[in-house]
Amino acid sequence: MSLLLSREGNRAVTYNNMGQYRGSMGVTLLWILLWISRYGQGLSAEQLSKKIFFLAETNKRVTLQVSPAVPKGTVHQWMWTSHDGRHSNTSVARIPSSMNRKPSWNIQALFSQGTGYDLSIPQKIENAGEFVFMQTEPALAVLARFEVFGFVFKVTPNSNGNEVYLGSDVSVRCDVSSMPDGATLQWERDGDSISNTTLFYNKTAHMIIHNVDQNYRGRCNFRLNGKLLFIVYTTLNVQRDTFNKPLIRLFRESSNSSEVKLICRYSSTYRRAMWTMNRSTTSFTLTSSDKVGTDRFSSPPFNGIDFPLHVSPVKFEDSGRFTCFFDNQIFTLAELTTIRASGGPPGGQPVVLRCEVSEVSDDPVTLAWMRMEGSRWLLVKQDVLTKSHPNRTLSVTLPSLCRDQLHWQCVVFTEGMLRATASLTLTLPTQTTMSSMTDDNHLQTAVIVACIAMVVAGLLVGALVFYLKRKKTAVTNLPLTQKNDPVYDNTTDPRRDQESHKGQTGEDENEEVHYSEFALVEPRLDDHSRVTAGSNQESAVIYSTLSI
């Protein structure tokens, strides 16, 4: 605002020097109208606000288009704040306009000039962010804002383009440069014939397509406040057979609900088929066309071209190399790695979470513990394991277990791609909920104790009122003679005190004392200690004076 005032102030002085009404009310009014007009233009100058989306691709660019009214003598500027935090309010282009209105760009090499005042940027995710086009001279005014979102899509493994190996686990990921409040990024697939695993973490939507055996088409959807704004499509062309293909690496969780289906297929027919397993130095046959396996390892009858192996449930010791033979020729070679997650001891404090992977090959494996926070996963701990790593376990210690720490996942990544997950849901032990309670339990206990205290206090007050009422009634009903006949008792002589009590005992010694009076009098030398009893010894009221 100070820039606007100084610019318009200079212009008002120029008008005063040119006109014959210098210092007059008309010129002053003209200056005020001009200032109000320019100020109103500054307030209403934000004419364009737009969201732009692009998929990161090499040698491609996206253009931010503006169409400003450019009078001579103006200066414009492009400002950039990147989503990754590397740049904040960075000037990427300053465009001073000459007398013939041809702009002269002073721009960073990262960006380039489009048509007119348009800005062209390479389609790289690190270039995404907020771009502001503004006029800086003669008045400061924002003319356009662009929120540019970049997306990265990746598939692994693939053999040629979008072709993938039959029977492999295909990992796909979709990254977005920014996730504002209300945004969601999720995978959707066409058809329900292929099982998958999904995970959203750190602005990335991961998905695993398990044991692909047919062509696949899916999409990554970006929504903001429920509105679909951008879609990334993917199509996977699955190869038709498994013969002469490289080693397939699979990861599975060890659990009662986990399974794996290994595919062995060829277009020509064969007579015999067999699945074997190599574990350490031991090799044994699982199923064959002559003897179909049972228990956890099974295969359908061999039809000459297709002989899959189904393992369910998957146990941790199932880790190893599986080989499929058609007439003694290798048609499938798969290596299975298992993971398992555990937490314990049950009901113990602290709680230790353990995630273990059965094997680590030449390719490093990243183990990570994640905890559910709201609807997203929060990374708690991770470690990169290599073949020479001393152990294959990642542990997390929880000093105490809270209600917001019950849902966990052990996650396996290779080369940044999700390969497997192992879920773990903890439960609060009974003693924890009864003794070491959470804040809600403390509040509930305090309320119960307060209610009990109020009830007890009410009962005590009622009993006290009843007692006083009864006492008052008893005193009121006594005869007048019983209320006014005093018995003086000197307490300085214990023997006389005993005699006094003896004199009062008789047929009425069990009568209740209803009223007593203590009088403080000054002692006199001639006042001998004595006991004077009233004529009516049957009275239940005793008046006594304590002389001090």
Q: Where are the domains of the chain?
A: 48-150, 157-239, 248-338, 340-425
17 pLDDT higher than 50: no
pLDDT at 106: 72
pLDDT at 427: 83
The SS3 assignment for 291 reads: coil
User: Distance (Å, rounded) from C-alpha 198 to C-alpha 409?
Assistant: 12
pLDDT at 242: 93
Mean pLDDT for the stretch of residues 196-202: 86
| pLDDT tens digits, one per residue of 318-363 | 999 999 999 999 999 999 999 999 987 666 678 899 999 999 988 8
Pairing of strands 141-156, 48-55: parallel
| pLDDT tens digits, one per residue of 298-318 | 999 999 999 999 999 999 999
Task: Report the candidate in 291, 263, 283, 286 with the shortest Cα–Cα distance to residue 275.
Answer: 286
Report the top-level CATH class of 48-150: mainly beta
Q: pLDDT band at residue 470, thresholds of 50, 70 and 90?
A: low
CA 221 to the chain's CA centroid: 21
What's phi and psi for 11, nearest 5 deg? -65, -35
Q: Provide the percentage of residues in the chain whose pLDDT is more than 70.
A: 68
pLDDT at 160: 65
Q: Provide the percentage of residues in the chain whose pLDDT is more than 90.
A: 41
The SS3 assignment for 11 reads: helix
Which H or E element spans position 17?
Answer: helix 2-18
Question: Residue 313: is the preceding peptide bond cis (ω within 30°)?
Answer: yes
Q: pLDDT band at residue 190, thresholds of 50, 70 and 90?
A: confident
pLDDT at 346: 61
Top-confidence range, 49-58, 343-352, 445-454: 49-58
State the chain's mean pLDDT as an integer. 76
pLDDT at 336: 96
447 pLDDT higher than 70: no
Instruction: Say which DSSP state 103 is in.
Output: B
Tokens of 241: 């057979």
535 pLDDT higher than 60: no
Q: Which residue has the higher pLDDT, 537 or 347?
A: 347
Residue appearing with tokens 């027919």 = 269
Q: Is the pTM of this model over 0.75?
A: no
| pLDDT tens digits, one per residue of 418-442 | 999 999 988 876 544 444 444 555 6
Residues 310 and 303: beta-carbon distance below 8 Å: no
404 pLDDT higher than 60: yes
484 pLDDT higher than 80: no
pLDDT at 514: 40
Asked whether this chain's domains 48-150 and 157-239 adopt the same fold, the reply is: yes
Residue appearing with tokens 């010129």 = 27
Residue appearing with tokens 């996206």 = 62
Tokens of 53: 């989306």
Report the top-level CATH class of 157-239: mainly beta
User: Distance (Å, rounded) from C-alpha 322 to C-alpha 307?
Assistant: 13
pLDDT at 441: 59
pLDDT at 472: 59
pLDDT at 46: 47
Task: Report the candidate in 300, 271, 303 with the shortest Cα–Cα distance to residue 287.
Answer: 300
Q: Which residue has the higher pLDDT, 126 or 3?
A: 126
| pLDDT tens digits, one per residue of 70-99 | 667 788 899 999 999 999 999 998 888 765
Which H or E element spans position 440?
Answer: helix 439-476
Task: Report the candidate in 13, 6, 4 with the shortest Cα–Cα distance to residue 31.
Answer: 13
Q: Which CATH superfamily is domain 340-425 in?
A: Immunoglobulins (2.60.40.10)
Residues 545 and 487: beta-carbon distance below 8 Å: no
Q: pLDDT band at residue 454, thresholds of 50, 70 and 90?
A: confident
Q: Which CATH superfamily is domain 248-338 in?
A: Immunoglobulins (2.60.40.10)
**CA 317, 322, 327 angle in degrees (round to 5)?**
150
